[in-house]
Amino acid sequence: TFWKGEIGKPLVRSQNTHKLCGKIVQRSQHKYASNVVEKCLEFGDAAEREFLIDEILLQFEDNDNLLVMMKDQFANYVVQKILEISNDTQRETLLHRIRLHLIAFFLFSKFKNAFLCVNINFIGDQKE
């Protein structure tokens, strides 16, 4: 593996980090590839870490990389690793986003049953 014997070689480490470009979320969701992402975060220099974290923080209308990773059984370990190694600014951004997602999870789970009951009652009323 590249981080055991070649962690001291910045060029090799940088090449491996850049191979993850555009694939961080997908690689983080894989049992073994998520370990590679974690090692890149742990042993990469500040610029490489920022590069990886920025990709994870990407958010589109229909897709939020961080949310996808928080829900995944392997990718959530990558999120935890980021919280361990990130600088103060990155950590604050991550924690803010994580809090928003947790609030949304809580509200959804709290009101999910109420919404289901309303929908079931509505459907029942329509049949009569």
Could you give the CA distance from residue 10 to residue 14 in angstroms, rounded to a whole number?
Answer: 6
Choice between 51 and 12, residue whose per-residue pLDDT is larger: 51
Choice between 58 and 66, residue whose per-residue pLDDT is larger: 66
- Position 114 scores a pLDDT of 62
Could you give the CA distance from residue 97 to residue 104 in angstroms, rounded to a whole number?
Answer: 11
Could you give the CA distance from residue 13 to residue 10 in angstroms, rounded to a whole number?
Answer: 5
Choice between 50 and 7, residue whose per-residue pLDDT is larger: 50
Q: What are 76-123's pLDDT values in tens digits?
A: 999 999 999 988 998 999 999 999 888 887 777 766 666 655 555 545
* Mean pLDDT value across residues 22-49: 90
- Position 1 scores a pLDDT of 46
CB 72 within 8 A of CB 59: no
Burial class (CB within 10 angstroms; exposed 0-12, middle 13-18, buried 19+) of 53: buried
Average pLDDT of every residue of the chain: 80
- Position 12 scores a pLDDT of 75
Choice between 115 and 67, residue whose per-residue pLDDT is larger: 67
Integer angstrom CA distances of residue 27 from 8, 35, 89, 125: 23, 9, 25, 47
Percent of the chain at pLDDT exceeding 70: 79
